[in-house]
Amino acid sequence: MTDSTPILSVNDISKSFDGNIILNSVSFQLATGEIKVLIGPSGGGKSTLLQCMNCLVIPDSGDIMLENRQIDYLNKESLYNLRQQVGMIFQDFNLFDHLTALDNITIALRKVKKCDRKQAEQRARQELEQVGLADKEGLYPAQLSGGQKQRVAIARALAMDPKILMLDEPTSALDPELIGEVIAVIKALAEKGMTMVMATHQISLISGLADEILFMENGRIVEQGSPSKLLSTGNISKSQGFCDRLNELAEVGE
């Protein structure tokens, strides 16, 4: 499915907070339809990298290019524009607590995309249907389970017709029995050819979906390659060791 022109490229970006280097000249390119999975130890910079890619965090240096256009960090319009085209799923959902599931989806359509209410609601219902929550549109975030919240968050991002979807540990805040429903939604998206960058510890997402694995440690990409290459038996790689440990944990959990 992968097509060779990069839709998004990250060129040499670095970021420090309070003198701590979080990202140290990271570069990679994302092709349309490609799925990249970020793995590695916590604090390795995965989350910051994702937030830099839609400029929720502005890099100290380096460029972000969306469809060969460079993002001007100082131009707010260009940032708003970038974020509309790059959807983001957070670990802790960040649903708007004062809005129903339906309105969580319509509000950005109405305020950012300037759709009228009717259109927005129609679109929102379609998206809720896609994630299997058509009957929950009137409920508020506090009335939804974690898995349902994350599915609403995904529907909310998809309603904006993003060219890329970024997922920051989408299943980490969920109880084990709720992870499956979210994974199913993500897999369905992959089948439809959605371009995605995902940080995750979920072994089935890593080995089953990734076109390429990026292993991050100390703010750098230290390993990069297809799962078949990095995770093949007998191959000694950091990714391999990391996934082995995840597997062990999963078995202990069961």
Partner 1 sequence: MELSPFYQELLTSLNRGLIMSIALIVPSVIGGVVIGVLAGTLRTFGNTITRRATDAYAAVFRGTPLVVQLFILYFGLPNLGIYLSPYVAAVTGFTLCSGAYQSEYVRGALQSIKRGQYLGAQALGFTTFQSIYWIIVPQAIRRAIHGCGNEIIYLIKYSSLAFIVTCVELTGEGKTIATEYFRFTEVFTIIGLYYLGLVTVAIFILKKIEQRLYIPGFGHG
Residues that bind partner 1 (CB under 8 A): 54, 56, 76, 80-81, 83-84, 87-88, 90, 92-98, 107-108, 111-112, 139-143, 156-157, 160
Is the Cβ of residue 172 or residue 237 nearer to partner 1 in the bound state? 172
**Least Å from the CB of residue 207 to partner 1:** 28
Contact 58, 73 (CB under 8 A): yes
Is the Cβ of residue 69 or residue 76 nearer to partner 1 in the bound state? 76
Separation of alpha carbons 105 and 103, rounded Å = 5
Separation of alpha carbons 139 and 101, rounded Å = 6
Is the Cβ of residue 157 or residue 206 nearer to partner 1 in the bound state? 157
Is the Cβ of residue 45 or residue 87 nearer to partner 1 in the bound state? 87
Single-letter code of the amino acid located at 96: F
Contact 181, 151 (CB under 8 A): yes
Separation of alpha carbons 225 and 227, rounded Å = 7
**Least Å from the CB of residue 148 to partner 1:** 13
Nearest residue to 101 via CA among 147, 155, 146 = 155
**Least Å from the CB of residue 63 to partner 1:** 20
Separation of alpha carbons 168 and 90, rounded Å = 5
**Least Å from the CB of residue 140 to partner 1:** 5
Is the Cβ of residue 153 or residue 213 nearer to partner 1 in the bound state? 153
Separation of alpha carbons 194 and 245, rounded Å = 29
Single-letter code of the amino acid located at 53: M
- Give the H or E element holding residue 26: strand 20-31
**Least Å from the CB of residue 112 to partner 1:** 5
**Least Å from the CB of residue 90 to partner 1:** 7
Is the Cβ of residue 11 or residue 78 nearer to partner 1 in the bound state? 78
Place of tokens 């390795």: 44
Helix (H, G, I), strand (E, B) or coil at 188: helix
